[in-house]
Structure 1
Amino acid sequence: MPFGLARPSRIDHSLLLAREGYLFTAQLADEERRELADTGALTISLLGRQALLVTGDAGVRLFYDEGRVQRRRAVPAPIGLSLFGPGAVHALDDDAHRHRKSMFRDALTQADVERLLEVAERRWRSELESWTEAGSGEVYAAAVDVFGASVIEWAGIREPEEQAREHARWLARIVDGFGVPGPAYVRAAGARRRCDRWASELVRDERAHQSGDPDSWLARVAAFVDHDGNPLPERVAAVELLNILRPTVAAAWLASFATIALVEHPHWRNRIREEAEQASGGAGRIATAFAHEVRRYYPFVPVLAARARRDFRFAGHVVRKGQRVLLDVYGTNHGSEWEDPWSFEPARFLEADPCTITHYVPQGGGPVDSGHRCPGEGVSNGLVALTVSLLACIDGLDLTPQDRHFSMRRRPTRPASGTRVSVGGSPSARGCPVGSQPGS
């Protein structure tokens, strides 16, 4: 194909993306797959207009090049409004984006993340004790409750335990249905409305009384002054309040996959257990690497969307101002830049800093300080690492008979069984000191 000419697409790929989900690029025509693999880019038709699909290191660098690409109006409204909410940081660019994102970065320092993980560990240990008494448990449902109630407590939201767990399930419902046409999307939209009302009430009350911890996430959002010098409108503040709570609950999807990986790879389970037995607290280096590999290997985000800021050329394709640019997230996490990409191998993260690996984009890529990389990535990975550290220490942990399969066409996906496990001992049966015991 001559340089500067985009190959005209014979079909609109919108239905293919909607139908195939994570298998989207695998279901492209043979010549399209070859072109994407050879050049890292493919011009497709999306919603009746040309779009550029990119993958790999070069594609990631383009996607996060703010001189050529922006986020405004990139995500289709039915998805963006349901998942992120109106006015969210995800749709901002340039100074407005950097200023708003500073609120998230300031709230998610290492110390803040560690404080959240301490709360989550306390709740996980209590949950696992109940599993021991019952002899079994379901990872996904428990993780929704544990992660959700933990981040609600961490955020400075004071409410009864049962109410916190109910709100956690609302947040999970938003994630579960945002990309699925039909009843699941309707349930997600309903949960979104309930969560928006709840969050707006919290912001309104905090602004009126300022009764919470001034360093809490709720207080930070309520008091934040945007780049224009004005406080966030109540509705936008509510949206941003949820934009830490909701992604934290979404880590339950990863916890479900991580448990399967832990049982299916007993060598790594033993290493994590040995590490936990010797630790003085927190998830160690091996559990952290295991969590990173879970996020790389298992399906979480299929694609991300942006728009061209100006006309430019990339890999032989002309891209026009306003044209959509799609990053193939799942394909990039399994691309040729990885050694043996279809093997589950946590060792690849034992020595490497994941943030320096361009093609590691489970929750987006680019620089976290100046770009659009998720500032809550440490929360997701930390919660998964904590989960496997605790589960690895349970004597007799095994998967109960169940269907472990998950749909590669549903977005997001997880094992439909919820990952049910049988247990035969307490999480501290072999003395795994992963942080403080409850009540200490």
Structure 2
Amino acid sequence: MSLLRERSVLLARQGYLFTAALTETERHRLYDEGAVPIRLLGRPALLVTGSEGVRFFYDESRLMRHLAVPAPIALSLFGPGAVHGLDDAPPRHRKELFLPALTEPALERLTDIAGTRLERRVKQWEATGGGEVYSDAVDIFGSSIIEWAGIDESDAEKSRHARWLATIVDGFGTMGTPYLRATVARRRCDRWAADLVRREREAPAAPAGSWLSAVARFVDADGRPLPERTAAVELLNILRPTVAVSWLASFAALALVEHPQWCERIRAEDASGESAVAEAFCHEVRRYYPFVPVLAARARRDTVYAGHRISAGQRVLLDVHGTNHGADWEDPWAFRPERFLDVDPCDVTAFVPQGGGPRETGHRCPGEGVSNRLLELTVQALARHDSLELPAQDRTFSARRMPTRPASGTRVRL
């Protein structure tokens, strides 16, 4: 009976410590067999981990995404009708909307916009003695992606909308007041985005090829333009994840100071115009620090994995945090950016900080390039200062809160 205990509350309360809080028998089965049956939301589910678990989780012949994420989280974080919950041809077609927006030229344009804003903010830090990485990153990344998207509004409006987007991320996985705040922010963002789509369709004004223009004009797999509400959701599904990089930025700043040898290597590399070390450092930040605890799918049909029978419609959970720190990694609890030097992270099956599988045809987050590029900008900007340090502050972060970040937001002194 211990394997059939309800685990929904355990996940909500324990966050990234979810698997550690399972019974001893469950933990042994998970790590010895790569899978363990649990009970989630009153129904049987299977929790999988490791590279083999990743391959199974992204086997679209056996698993699907439709209705996999519990509605309270899916509606708050992704929105109704989002690409995250589609399967087969629809998501492949919908990804045609996202992939052109994340090409190298598009990333370079975002990098230029964000780099300019970040440079201005760092100069302010120099003048005032320092600043908080998390809160300033929300403003910088949010304002930059809004400008990049072709949305014409004042800097004050960009900052306000960036904070709304951050509130959605901050509360989607935490019960109580944070979740209520996230729900309110979600409604505000939906209205804002729907109004942007409506005005763009009535009187096109966004630059040709911009994200707002692309979303407003996109024709879905059924041959019709996206409904206004769905278009608004997809508009936000690049803006919101970009703001979420602020959580990782606060960890990246912490890692720079706690691993000064890598700060020195990034500084030396930056002076030569290279970025391979900074890129590897940022991949390791995304692997090492907690970001996503689990991901969910559902079985298309009756199937078997690791000796466990799975009924059609049954949920399968991928242990993301555990997979990023599992047996597939050498010394997984050590911070070692060298593991990503000269390695394409998409070729590392057990690297799933933002999902896995092929970027073009699977459910690997198409915004991974955005995440790492913004993190690279941040660590390079900070590493240029050999006086970089952290003043006295609370560096701890709760492994039970989803999402989590250093309690202080990581205040730096330059």
Identity, in percent, stands at 63
Instruction: Identify the residue that residue 142 of structure 2 maps to in structure 1.
Output: 148
Instruction: Identify the residue that residue 435 of structure 1 maps to in structure 2.
Output: none
Amino acid aligned to 1:154: W
1:259 is the counterpart of 2:250: no
Instruction: Identify the residue that residue 276 of structure 1 maps to in structure 2.
Output: 270
What is the alpha-carbon distance in structure 2 between the residues aligned to residue 348 and residue 53 of structure 1?
Answer: 27
Q: Is the 8 A contact 1:42 1:54 kept in 2?
A: yes
CA shift for structure 1 position 66: 0.4
1:392 is the counterpart of 2:383: yes
* Residue correspondence of structure 1 range 161-310 to structure 2 within 5 A: 161-279=155-273, 284-310=275-301
Q: Is the 8 A contact 2:15 2:401 kept in 1?
A: yes
Q: Is the 8 A contact 1:8 1:43 kept in 2?
A: no
What is the alpha-carbon distance in structure 2 between the residues aligned to residue 169 and residue 225 of structure 1?
Answer: 30
What is the alpha-carbon distance in structure 2 between the residues aligned to residue 256 and residue 268 of structure 1?
Answer: 16
Q: Is the 8 A contact 1:71 1:307 kept in 2?
A: yes
What is the alpha-carbon distance in structure 2 between the residues aligned to residue 294 and residue 116 of structure 1?
Answer: 21
1:46 is the counterpart of 2:37: no
What is the alpha-carbon distance in structure 1 between the residues aligned to residue 4 and residue 230 of structure 2?
Answer: 41
What is the alpha-carbon distance in structure 2 between the residues aligned to residue 17 and residue 178 of structure 1?
Answer: 13
Instruction: Identify the residue that residue 346 of structure 1 maps to in structure 2.
Output: 337
SS, match of residue 305 in structure 1: strand
1:377 is the counterpart of 2:368: yes
Instruction: Identify the residue that residue 62 of structure 1 maps to in structure 2.
Output: 56
1:21 is the counterpart of 2:12: no
Q: Is the 8 A contact 2:251 2:405 kept in 1?
A: yes
CA shift for structure 1 position 53: 0.2
Taking structure 1 as the reference length, the TM-score comes to 0.93
SS, match of residue 44 in structure 1: strand
Q: Is the 8 A contact 1:84 1:239 kept in 2?
A: yes
SS, match of residue 3 in structure 2: coil
What is the alpha-carbon distance in structure 2 between the residues aligned to residue 109 and residue 409 of structure 1?
Answer: 36
* Pairing partner for 1:30 from 17, 24, 46: 24
Tell me the matched-pair count. 414
Amino acid aligned to 1:87: G
Q: Is the 8 A contact 2:254 2:410 kept in 1?
A: yes
What is the alpha-carbon distance in structure 1 between the residues aligned to residue 339 and residue 86 of structure 2?
Answer: 34
SS, match of residue 399 in structure 1: coil
* Residue correspondence of structure 1 range 72-151 to structure 2 within 5 A: 72-151=66-145
What is the alpha-carbon distance in structure 1 between the residues aligned to residue 205 and residue 118 of structure 2?
Answer: 29
What is the alpha-carbon distance in structure 1 between the residues aligned to residue 5 and residue 102 of structure 2?
Answer: 44
Q: Deviations over 1:197-228 (max 9, x none)?
A: 11011000110111111200000000000000
Q: Aligned-pair RMSD on alpha carbons?
A: 0.9
CA shift for structure 1 position 8: 6.8
Stretches of structure 1 lacking an aligned partner (at least 5 in a row)? 1-6, 424-440
1:71 is the counterpart of 2:65: yes
Amino acid aligned to 1:103: L
Q: Is the 8 A contact 1:69 1:308 kept in 2?
A: yes
Taking structure 2 as the reference length, the TM-score comes to 0.99
Q: Deviations over 1:224-261 (max 9, x none)?
A: 00000000000000000000000000000000000000
CA shift for structure 1 position 10: 4.1
What is the alpha-carbon distance in structure 2 between the residues aligned to residue 276 and residue 115 of structure 1?
Answer: 20
SS, match of residue 318 in structure 2: strand
SS, match of residue 326 in structure 2: coil
Amino acid aligned to 1:34: H
Q: Is the 8 A contact 2:3 2:26 kept in 1?
A: no
1:160 is the counterpart of 2:160: no
1:366 is the counterpart of 2:357: yes
CA shift for structure 1 position 55: 0.3
Q: Is the 8 A contact 1:22 1:302 kept in 2?
A: yes
Amino acid aligned to 1:18: A
What is the alpha-carbon distance in structure 2 between the residues aligned to residue 117 and residue 244 of structure 1?
Answer: 15
What is the alpha-carbon distance in structure 1 between the residues aligned to residue 117 and residue 207 of structure 2?
Answer: 21
CA shift for structure 1 position 395: 3.6
What is the alpha-carbon distance in structure 2 between the residues aligned to residue 337 and residue 91 of structure 1?
Answer: 28
Q: Deviations over 1:342-383 (max 9, x none)?
A: 000000000211000000000000001111111110000111
